[in-house]
Amino acid sequence: MSDQTLAYVEKDGTWLDARVTSRDAENVTLETLEGQHSFTIPADQLLLANALPEDGVEDMTRLNYLHEPALLSNLRQRFARDHVYTYTGKICIAVNPFNWQVSKPLYEEHVLLKYLGREMGEQPPHIYAVAEDAYQKINSHASGGGNQSILVSGESGAGKTESVKIMMQYLATVSKSGDQNKVAQQVLATNPLLEAFGNARTSRNNNSSRFGKFIELQFDSAYKMAGARVHIYLLEKSRVVAQSEGERNYHVFYQLLAGLSADERAQLHVPLPVAEYRLLGQSGCVAIEGVDDAREFRRTRDAMEAIGMSALEQLETTRALASVLLLAQLAFEQNAEEQASVAAAAADTLQQVASLLGLEQAEDLSNALTTRRLVTRDDVVTVPLNLEQSSDSRDALTKSLYGKLFTWLVQRCNEKLVDDSAAAAFVGVLDIFGFEHFPINSFEQLCINYANERLQQQFNWDVFKSEQAEYEAEGIEWKYIQFIDNQDTLDLIDRKEHMGVLHLLDEECAIQKGSDEKFVQKVRDRHKGHAQFEVPKRDQMTFTIAHYAGRVTYTVIGFREKNKDTLHQDLSAVMQDSQSAFVRELFPMADAAALGSPPQKGGPRKHKGKSADKMTVGAQFMTQLGVLMRTINSTGVHYVRCIKPNTKNVPAVFDMSHSAHQLRCAGVLEAVRISRMAYPNRMPHAAFLSRYILLTTPAWREAHSAAVGAARGAAAADEAVKAMCAEALAQIVTEHERYQLGRTKVFFKAFLLENLEQRRAAALGVYAIMLQKNALALLHRRRFWMQRQAAIRLQAATRRRIARRAFCATKAAAIKAQAIFRGERA
Ligand SMILES: Nc1ncnc2c1ncn2[C@@H]1O[C@H](COP(=O)(O)OP(=O)(O)OP(=O)(O)O)[C@@H](O)[C@H]1O
Ligand SMILES: [Mg+2]
């Protein structure tokens, strides 16, 4: 017979709701609620369901049964009731509703105001609370506050960028000085600007960020927003020249063509319909449903105005964009000797590009695209390129131009917004690409997954290691909780002494005759046998890394080129000779002295020294990430984990298996487990004694109350106070395994503190009742005496009146009798 207990069973990687139908000592049989399928599992693998309130539980660390399906069910239940946010301790989980109708009420001003000055947990879960927590902590230097960072993670389309914008809006609002806070407005304007140039439609998100960003929001000593510094990571440049079917190039190109007038387009030489530009038409997708590119262009322009870009800078930017579009239109032809030249039909386009880029001689550009100058011992030789090489050269310049424009734009924002002199502290917000695993994974995925490994390590450190470090410092005995430490994987990728994959790649890039084949062989030879490394048998051009979030096989074709990412010196030199100061600024001198490139004969003298441009992409990224992690490490860290509830980006669908994978990647389950398995609450000895002394016996209390009072001023690690604490605890808590006494603090297992609080409240209640009783008795006694006195006085007066009345009557009667008697006698 069914005992109606609800539980979960796993089937094909997902969790199904089930009920227990029978069980014995070894096995349990369950029946799924939907479809009534029967499963028998070992009794020790039974995962029971929590009895959830209608709205689920706001903080999942409070769930009774704690396992993956329990967390998922809670999230699903909350999602069904339109609750976007749920806590796991201090981690905020945001499940993307894909529906602004649902979430809009969450961001109204009256809601925002409720979070102002409040602690996390006082109001329903919200990213406002996370932002508020960070904001409160920047102005509490004394209690270990200072700089803060909020790390927002999640896969593409999970809602990272929107969450960041919502939190930035919150911070701008709470730190406003008066209504017209120009700085805050400028800081917020970076969002539409960076989105126009760095976001694109992909198969997974119509507004996918194709770069990572860390924005330091600076606050002055009065905690008003003073400025911001934007750091960006790894813009996906390959998108500029090629997009998969159904995807788009960067939004700004479509905005430009939709938003400019016919005249303006003619002046920029871009009069054709969108689909006729090679960069925009090849993927078969030029529009996004519900997005008006012309309107978006106005927003982008407004943003440019807001951050203070001059009219000339705006014009230069649009000219650079038009030249990117036109450059890609250049077609080549080749002769019988396979020597390429710009196709006759593209001669006009060549002139137009040259004019937009401020190049005096269009031939300089066509020569740089179709030939290579090689330096021999005593001469410079010009080698013609074939059609394919020339096309590659053109694409390299196109990507480089766009990439440099994006970097320039970010620098421009920083020039306007950074205010280090006013900044007293910052809240950094990180919006970075989530873990990626595609059917074919390339160099970009390796970098992205490497970044996620580093962030995961930080998360591990914050949640697990710092906890363990405190237990160790306090001398608390506890069983180490197993968690996935990914240091090994990081070493495999970036450790120089171990010849990590990125270092091997750099080495291969430095060799003139290097190749992707040789690189993969070196990686395989060097790391064969590493616990996190695998060699796929079937494809010789691949290797597999076991990341914390799953195994990913990387295909190394193109790794060398992508890592080098150097623009040939001939092309840089042409750009350097531009008449336009703007173009020369985009292509600084050091650029032309690319890795291993020969000195220029007769050309301008190039700078020496190692600029970021001379480093490989991998080396640059390792450095950037190192700096980022050090910054984050020196701040108080807050986490927002975004979950994409389904892959179709539709509202109201919660796909259990897809969400489960993301929860695993985010390390949420382990985070809950550790805070529940260990000692989630702690309190300094003296604070414990003064708060809970009233739970000790009256005799102990009497003997120690003076010492407990004095303990408040004692040093944190005072042996006498600790001994007193031990005595008090022994009396108050009978289950001694539920607490431990550290060097300076008492550590409580889950729920013990709540229990002590209840008992304290009850004890305070008893005292209150006694006080009330005595006070009431006194009042009653006093009233009784007063009533008694009054009664006696009343009785006396009444008696007197009666006696008097009787006396008067007797007296009158006597007088009457005397009178009669006297009358008869006379
Ligand atoms: N709070 C929200 N309420 C309603 N819809 C949302 C919310 N957050 C995100 N969305 C929807 O999800 C889409 C994707 O969100 P977003 O662009 O922030 O994802 P992302 O995590 O930054 O993805 P990527 O890594 O591709 O940049 C948004 O365009 C929006 O339609
Ligand atoms: Mg994004």
The predicted-structure confidence for 22-62, as pLDDT tens digits, reads as follows 888 899 999 999 999 999 999 888 888 888 999 999 998 77
Query: Each residue of 326-382: pLDDT tens digit?
Result: 999 999 999 999 999 999 999 999 999 999 999 999 999 999 999 999 888 888 899
Q: Can you tell me which atom of ligand 1 is nearest the CA of 434?
A: 25
- Ligand at minimal distance from the CA of 213 is 2
* Catalytic residue from among 316, 436, 444, 670: 436
Q: Is 158 in the pocket of ligand 1 (CB under 6 A)?
A: yes
Q: Please indicate whether residue 737 is annotated as part of the active site.
A: no
Residue 610 clears pLDDT 50, i.e. is over it: no
3-state secondary structure of 328: coil
pLDDT-based confidence at residue 752 (cuts at 50, 70, 90): confident
pLDDT-based confidence at residue 562 (cuts at 50, 70, 90): very high
Q: Rounded to the nearest whole angstrom, what is the distance from the C-alpha of residue 197 to the centroid of ligand 2?
A: 13
Place of tokens 């000797």: 337
Q: Is 162 in the pocket of ligand 1 (CB under 6 A)?
A: yes
> Which runs of consecutive H residues, i.e. helices, occur in 344-386?
347-356, 362-370
Phi, psi (rounded to 5 degrees) for 407 = -60, -40
Q: Is 79 in the pocket of ligand 1 (CB under 6 A)?
A: no
Write down the domain spans for the chain: 6-48, 443-562, 681-750
3-state secondary structure of 550: strand
User: How far is it, in rounded angstroms, from Cα 298 to Cα 728?
Assistant: 69
Q: Is 636 in the pocket of ligand 1 (CB under 6 A)?
A: no
Of 85, 86, 96, the one to substitute when testing ligand 1's pocket (max ligand atoms within 8 A of C-beta) is 96
Q: What is the mean pLDDT of residues 739-754?
A: 86
Share of the chain above pLDDT 90, in %: 69
Q: Please indicate whether residue 203 is annotated as part of the active site.
A: no
- Give the CATH architecture of domain 443-562: Up-down Bundle (1.20)
Residue 461 clears pLDDT 60, i.e. is over it: yes
Using a 10 angstrom Cβ sphere, with 0-12 exposed, 13-18 middle and 19 or more buried, the burial of residue 70 is buried
Q: What is the mean pLDDT of residues 475-503?
A: 86
Q: What angle do CA 59, 65, 67 make, to 5 degrees?
A: 85
From atom 29 of ligand 1, which residue's Cα is the shortest distance away? Answer: 207
Token output for 718: 């005072």
Place of tokens 């924005």: 215
Question: What per-residue confidence (pLDDT) applies to 782?
Answer: 83
Phi, psi (rounded to 5 degrees) for 231 = -115, 140
Q: Is 97 in the pocket of ligand 1 (CB under 6 A)?
A: yes
CB atoms within 10 A of CB 571: 23
Residue-wise DSSP of 82-151 = T--EEEETTEEEEE--S-HHHHGGGGSHHHHHHHTTPPTTSSS--HHHHHHHHHHHHT-GGGT-SSEEEE
Query: Each residue of 573-585: pLDDT tens digit?
Result: 999 999 999 999 9
Residue 539 clears pLDDT 70, i.e. is over it: yes
Q: Rounded to the nearest whole angstrom, what is the distance from the C-alpha of residue 659 to the centroid of ligand 2?
A: 18
Least confident of 291-300, 552-561, 659-668, 703-712: 659-668
Residue 602 clears pLDDT 50, i.e. is over it: no
Share of the chain above pLDDT 70, in %: 93
* Catalytic residue from among 21, 96, 161, 190: 161
Residue 142 clears pLDDT 60, i.e. is over it: no
3-state secondary structure of 439: coil
Q: Can you tell me which atom of ligand 1 is nearest the CA of 433?
A: 25
Q: Rounded to the nearest whole angstrom, what is the distance from the C-alpha of residue 155 to the centroid of ligand 2?
A: 9
pLDDT-based confidence at residue 606 (cuts at 50, 70, 90): very low
Q: Is 169 in the pocket of ligand 1 (CB under 6 A)?
A: no
Q: CB of 95 within 8 A of CB of 643?
A: yes
User: How far is it, in rounded angstroms, from Cα 312 to Cα 315?
Assistant: 5
pLDDT-based confidence at residue 613 (cuts at 50, 70, 90): low
- Please, which residues have CB within 8 angstroms of residue 125's CB and are 6 or more apart in sequence? 58, 59, 83, 85, 86, 87, 92
Give the annotated binding-site residues.
154-161
Of 104, 205, 239, the one to substitute when testing ligand 1's pocket (max ligand atoms within 8 A of C-beta) is 205
pLDDT-based confidence at residue 612 (cuts at 50, 70, 90): low
User: How far is it, in rounded angstroms, from Cα 515 to Cα 509?
Assistant: 8
Q: Is 433 in the pocket of ligand 1 (CB under 6 A)?
A: yes
- Ligand at minimal distance from the CA of 84 is 1
The pairing of beta strand 148-153 with beta strand 636-643: parallel
Q: What is the mean pLDDT of residues 163-179?
A: 88
Question: What per-residue confidence (pLDDT) applies to 387?
Answer: 97
Q: Can you tell me which atom of ligand 1 is nearest the CA of 100?
A: 4
Least confident of 165-174, 543-552, 693-702, 794-803: 794-803
Q: Is 153 in the pocket of ligand 1 (CB under 6 A)?
A: no
Whole-number mean pLDDT of the chain?
90
User: How far is it, in rounded angstroms, from Cα 270 to Cα 289?
Assistant: 24
Q: Please indicate whether residue 436 is annotated as part of the active site.
A: yes
Query: Each residue of 617-639: pLDDT tens digit?
Result: 999 999 999 999 999 999 989 99
Token output for 622: 């390792």
Question: What per-residue confidence (pLDDT) applies to 12?
Answer: 86
Distance of CA 23 to the CA centre of its chain: 44
Question: What per-residue confidence (pLDDT) applies to 307?
Answer: 94
User: How far is it, in rounded angstroms, from Cα 636 to Cα 148?
Assistant: 5
Question: What per-residue confidence (pLDDT) applies to 195?
Answer: 98
Question: What per-residue confidence (pLDDT) applies to 594?
Answer: 39
Q: Rounded to the nearest whole angstrom, what is the distance from the C-alpha of residue 96 to the centroid of ligand 1?
A: 7
Q: Please indicate whether residue 156 is annotated as part of the active site.
A: yes
Question: What per-residue confidence (pLDDT) applies to 466?
Answer: 66
User: How far is it, in rounded angstroms, from Cα 746 to Cα 728?
Assistant: 11
Q: What is the mean pLDDT of residues 601-628?
A: 70
From atom 31 of ligand 1, which residue's Cα is the shortest distance away? Answer: 98
Report the length, in residues, of the chain.
826
Q: CB of 56 within 8 A of CB of 44?
A: no
Question: pLDDT: is 811 or 673 the higher one?
Answer: 811
Q: CB of 675 within 8 A of CB of 61?
A: yes
Radius of gyration of the chain (CA): 38
Query: Each residue of 224-241: pLDDT tens digit?
Result: 999 999 999 999 999 999
Q: What is the mean pLDDT of residues 11-28?
A: 89
Q: What angle do CA 90, 668, 83 make, to 5 degrees?
A: 65
Q: What is the mean pLDDT of residues 501-508?
A: 97
Q: What is the mean pLDDT of residues 639-663?
A: 95
Question: What per-residue confidence (pLDDT) applies to 611?
Answer: 52
Q: Which CATH class is domain 681-750?
A: alpha beta
pLDDT-based confidence at residue 785 (cuts at 50, 70, 90): confident
pLDDT-based confidence at residue 168 (cuts at 50, 70, 90): very high
Token output for 122: 């006082």
Query: Each residue of 365-380: pLDDT tens digit?
Result: 999 999 999 888 888 8
Q: Rounded to the nearest whole angstrom, what is the distance from the C-alpha of residue 74 to the centroid of ligand 2?
A: 26
Ramachandran sector of residue 146 (left: φ over 0; alpha: ψ -120 to 50; beta: rest): left
Of 98, 155, 197, the one to substitute when testing ligand 1's pocket (max ligand atoms within 8 A of C-beta) is 98
